[in-house]
Amino acid sequence: MAFDFSSITLEVIDINTNADPDLYINQNGITFSKRVLEDMNYPQNVQYCTDPAHAVFAIRVCKSNEARATPFCKPRAEQTTTYSTGNKNLKDVICKMIPNYDRKTRYKVTGHYDPDGKTMYFVMTEAEVSEFRKTPGEAEE
């Protein structure tokens, strides 16, 4: 019996964008997945924000003339990869909110986007060890 393909509704998979808006923290700095950039509509400037009492780090879209506005990413057509920063001050603030932080470990935190507030929230207590770069059988350092 043949399958009836006429009832199938196909969706195109975007293999260039992560499924989740992830933040990665490692020894070299911080990387925002392309999905973060896409969800936030490739903002030119952002404000980095924290709520230490709730262990939340956030990035909020802003105009370049707002207080502590920081250049973030290029326009959609020019930003072909993830966005990374090696800013030590930013990394230090974020790392302090990760429970049992180990500087030799790579962490991943999935963001939660608020489109009304144009803000991506990262609950740092949700940080999990990311072994993305390890190959099977690789020895621990």
Residue 140: per-residue pLDDT: 45
Strands 45-51 and 112-114: unpaired
Mean of the per-residue pLDDT values of the chain: 89
pTM for the model stands at 0.81
- Tell which wins on pLDDT, 120 or 139: 120
Domain parsing of the chain, residue ranges: 22-129
Would you place residue 138 in the very low, low, confident or very high pLDDT band (cuts 50, 70, 90)? very low
